[in-house]
Chain A
Amino acid sequence: MKKLFKMALVAVLALSLVACTSSTDEPAPTGSTATTGETSSVKIGFVTDTGGIDDKSFNQTSYEGIRKFASEAGLVEGAFEDGGNFTYLQSGNEADYVPNLSAFGEQGANLVAAAGYLFQSAVEEVAAAYPDVNFVAIDVAPIDLPNVQTANFMVNEGSYLVGVAAGTKAIENGSNHVGMVIGGESASMNMFWAGYQEGVWSVCPECTISYDNANSYTDSALGKTLAQKQYNAGATVIFACAGGTGNGIIQEAAERRTNGEDVWVIGVDTDQYSLGTYGDGSQSCVLTSMLKRVDTATYNASKQVAEGNFQGGNIDYTLADEGVGIPAENPNLTESDLAAIEEAREAIISGEVTVSTEPQTSETNPLIIG
């Protein structure tokens, strides 16, 4: 038995060695000719980060964009080898990024999509190895390769709008106090934070802002604790900018509203109104949400690849092209709140107001508590 196993192992290793020598003249996988322009044969692959495809956040939303284009173009979801046009690969940990991206490259995908700044070096590396495959990378800094499109979102502009909403509520409530919880320090989070504080102070210059870093995008219990801390300190509105951690903040707000407290929470990435329902389900503690339309980026890239006009380079999705913004329906905002937000929106689009990307800190501004 032992001998047999050893022999099998040796055989496998020997086969691998033989394979080494023949690797260079391997035939190119069929269908790797990018930008064919034929919709029926287009292949789109999406690689998730560790959050998985059903994270109710940017992985899921990015994939929705591909799915939306697919339903318009009549593409079939499923593994390429079964004749499918679009599918996804989940990454168990960060070390899976390169193997997963290159697996789609080997499979002859026309477009490979990935979302999240952690993909930066993986996309750089794999895109260089597969010049015939197009890549779209969301939240990734510009990459100087003709087959890579990076999509970035001016979340500071959208955060400015929800900042205006928060500031307005804080004045109505008389507390002059709002809050924000982030999921972790990053350049992207800084943009959220910078836009939010400018928005708040544009309507309420004397408002104080509580600011906490949960250092987790999945810890809803910690989110609840931080929400208790900020609401107890007097905050009227909390901008929950922390993925799954935000669910705990929404839960705390819903409990407090049930008990008659006038507190609110602002959702992030997608319209989170339905997550904040309480009582008989007809009301929600979610004031509004700061939308980041990552689905727009994957939708556009898919369409471009299918139509044969995909171009590399960086695209900044802004308030003007509805890459960021607030939902169309905001039952918790009054007419005057909406008017104030609309005014701010127009001012940003017209260039009258420029929203900064670098936040002030508690060291430079005494109005920030955190």
Chain B
Amino acid sequence: MTRRYSKLTISLIAVVLGILVGCLILVITGRNPVNIFIALIRSLTGFSVNNPARGINIMYPLNWLLSSVPIILTGLSVAFAYRTGMFNIGGEGQFIAGSLACATVALLVDLPPVIHPIACILAGGIAGALWAFLPGFLKAFRNINEVVICVMMNYIALYFNDWFVRSFLPIDKLTLARTVAFPETVSLGDLSFGTASQFNYGVIFAILGVIIFWFIMEKTTFGYSLRATGFNSEGSRYAGMKNRRNTVLSMMIAGAFTGVAGAIVIIGSYGYGRIFTAFDNYGFDGISVALVGGSSAGGVLAAGLLFGLMNASETQFQILGIPSEVSDNIQAAIVFFVAIQYGIKIVLDLIGKHRMNKKVKEEVA
């Protein structure tokens, strides 16, 4: 059988199976699996199925979008590198580099409103790109595995950030564990519609990111040569493409996406420079998003919204008596089912065969 299934079909099947795994866990542990759907619907629409009198609470969908914005960007980052044949597992480091550069510009540079946050986000993007330069460079010119370098760069970022913030940025006197608050000129605005959500205009950068990703990858010669490098690096070199330069640039563009995510999160959700004690996992979530989204712009957007929904629903899960870890279980199951897509294809083939046989039999009869 040589049936072909679209990536979307596989991903949707994986999502359904993932949620079923979540339901199964709840059934086994003696909880009500219907609550998963009540929680997801409430996060998605703000509507309480089990308490319709409450009306629609717009805060919950806003929180969903808020948590989707950074992982759409980190998903684009992983997808961009993946299309050029590289695995960008350095998202955590690029994210921290982006938030550090953003905090530095926010606290040490005086700029008028609107321009200031844009400058901060640009700085974040540049820092993310620079942080990704080394793994790309070593991969291209010394053929050193980018995974190892990326993971090491993550830890360097974690501790470099600590040293840099304590050495050069004004520390908050009350806690000694973060910087002072950003000046009021650094704001991404308020899109909360009167709720307590922190949703802000950072979402524009996620939308721009999706468009830029799509344009570069699908509509430019540069994007074509990147994809060619991804398919067959030596072949593309033989065809006259600068595969080494492509490798470095691709990593840097990937890093820029994640750096922008770092800047948006730190301005929108924190409003001060952070001293990280652990990774936030936005970079790692990006890997799941890119995988489930099939590394295409539209796919990453949809997968980012899906994983954002899962993350945002953790609050609703717990409100309804479901442990927040069940959300992680569902996410892991979805990634697992996408990863074993050949298995899913085999099952689909078997079902298809069965149906066809049935049809043939019916026709014969």
The segment out of A183-191, A274-282, A297-305 that lies at the interface is: A183-191
> In the complex the two chains form, is B63's CB within 8 Å of A50's CB?
no
Chain A residue nearest to B315 (CB atoms) is A103
Main SS class of interface, B: mixed
Partner among B12, B162, B196, B318 whose Cβ is within 8 Å of the Cβ of A98: B196
How far apart sit A369 and B269, CA to CA, in the bound complex (Å)?
39
> In the complex the two chains form, is B55's CB within 8 Å of A26's CB?
yes
At the interface, yes or no: A316 with Cβ under 8 Å from chain B?
A: no
> In the complex the two chains form, is A187's CB within 8 Å of B176's CB?
yes
Partner among B58, B177, B302, B319 whose Cβ is within 8 Å of the Cβ of A184: B177
How far apart sit A233 and B298, CA to CA, in the bound complex (Å)?
60
Give how many B residues have a beta carbon under 8 Å from the other chain's beta carbons: 57
Q: Using Cβ atoms and an 8 Å threshold, which residues of chain B touch A337?
A: none
> In the complex the two chains form, is B45's CB within 8 Å of A105's CB?
no
The segment out of B81-89, B143-151, B208-216, B270-278 that lies at the interface is: B270-278
**Which A residues from 308 to 359 make CB contacts under 8 A with B?**
none
- A23-B194, A105-B196 given; A29·B54 CB < 8 A: yes
At the interface, yes or no: A73 with Cβ under 8 Å from chain B?
A: no
Q: Mark A1-42, 1 if CB is under 8 A from B, else 0.
A: 110010001001001100110111011010000000000000
> In the complex the two chains form, is B197's CB within 8 Å of A95's CB?
no
**Which A residues from 183 to 238 make CB contacts under 8 A with B?**
184-190, 215-218
How far apart sit A94 and B273, CA to CA, in the bound complex (Å)?
13
> In the complex the two chains form, is B280's CB within 8 Å of A94's CB?
yes
**Which A residues from 78 to 113 make CB contacts under 8 A with B?**
78-82, 87-90, 92-96, 98-100, 102-103, 105-107
Q: Mark B24-59, 1 if CB is under 8 A from A, else 0.
A: 000000000000000000001110001101111111
- A20-B58, A23-B56, A121-B181 given; A126·B196 CB < 8 A: yes
Give how many A residues have a beta carbon under 8 Å from the other chain's beta carbons: 58
At the interface, yes or no: B247 with Cβ under 8 Å from chain A?
A: no
Q: Mark A111-130, 1 if CB is under 8 A from B, else 0.
A: 00000011011000110011
Q: Using Cβ atoms and an 8 Å threshold, which residues of chain A touch B265?
A: 95
Chain A residue nearest to B314 (CB atoms) is A92
> In the complex the two chains form, is A5's CB within 8 Å of B315's CB?
no
Main SS class of interface, A: helix
At the interface, yes or no: A141 with Cβ under 8 Å from chain B?
A: yes
Partner among A19, A107, A217 whose Cβ is within 8 Å of the Cβ of B46: A19
**Which B residues from 294 to 320 make CB contacts under 8 A with A?**
302, 305, 311-312, 314-316, 318-320
> In the complex the two chains form, is B53's CB within 8 Å of A79's CB?
no
- A12-B44, A23-B58 given; A117·B175 CB < 8 A: yes
> In the complex the two chains form, is B320's CB within 8 Å of A79's CB?
yes
Partner among B53, B55, B312 whose Cβ is within 8 Å of the Cβ of A99: B312
- A9-B302, A79-B319, A93-B280 given; A117·B177 CB < 8 A: yes
Q: Using Cβ atoms and an 8 Å threshold, which residues of chain B touch A96?
A: 314-315
Q: Using Cβ atoms and an 8 Å threshold, which residues of chain A touch B312?
A: 99
> In the complex the two chains form, is B54's CB within 8 Å of A107's CB?
no
How far apart sit A79 and B55, CA to CA, in the bound complex (Å)?
20
- A1-B12, A89-B319, A96-B315 given; A120·B176 CB < 8 A: no
> In the complex the two chains form, is A118's CB within 8 Å of B318's CB?
no
- A102-B59, A130-B196 given; A15·B8 CB < 8 A: no
Q: Using Cβ atoms and an 8 Å threshold, which residues of chain B touch A29?
A: 54
How far apart sit A215 and B276, CA to CA, in the bound complex (Å)?
10
**Which A residues from 265 to 308 make CB contacts under 8 A with B?**
none
Q: Using Cβ atoms and an 8 Å threshold, which residues of chain A touch B319?
A: 79-81, 89, 103, 107
Chain A residue nearest to B324 (CB atoms) is A90
Q: Using Cβ atoms and an 8 Å threshold, which residues of chain B touch A9?
A: 302, 305
Partner among A98, A118, A190 whose Cβ is within 8 Å of the Cβ of B176: A190
Chain B's nearest CB lies how many Å from the CB of A357?
12
> In the complex the two chains form, is A22's CB within 8 Å of B315's CB?
no
Q: Using Cβ atoms and an 8 Å threshold, which residues of chain B touch A105?
A: 196
Chain B's nearest CB lies how many Å from the CB of A282?
37
Chain A's nearest CB lies how many Å from the CB of B77?
18
> In the complex the two chains form, is B194's CB within 8 Å of A98's CB?
no
> In the complex the two chains form, is A16's CB within 8 Å of B176's CB?
no
> In the complex the two chains form, is A12's CB within 8 Å of B196's CB?
no
How far apart sit A323 and B337, CA to CA, in the bound complex (Å)?
51
Q: Using Cβ atoms and an 8 Å threshold, which residues of chain A touch B357?
A: none
Q: List 15 A-B contacts (CB under 8 A).
A: A5-B8, A5-B302, A12-B44, A19-B45, A22-B58, A23-B195, A50-B278, A79-B319, A89-B324, A92-B281, A102-B195, A106-B196, A117-B175, A121-B270, A187-B173
Residues of A within 8 A of B (CB): 1-2, 5, 9, 12, 15-16, 19-20, 22-24, 26-27, 29, 50, 78-82, 87-90, 92-96, 98-100, 102-103, 105-107, 117-118, 120-121, 125-126, 129-130, 141, 184-190, 215-218
Q: Which 9 A-B pairs have the closest CB atoms?
A: A102-B196, A129-B196, A23-B58, A79-B321, A141-B174, A186-B177, A19-B56, A117-B175, A95-B269
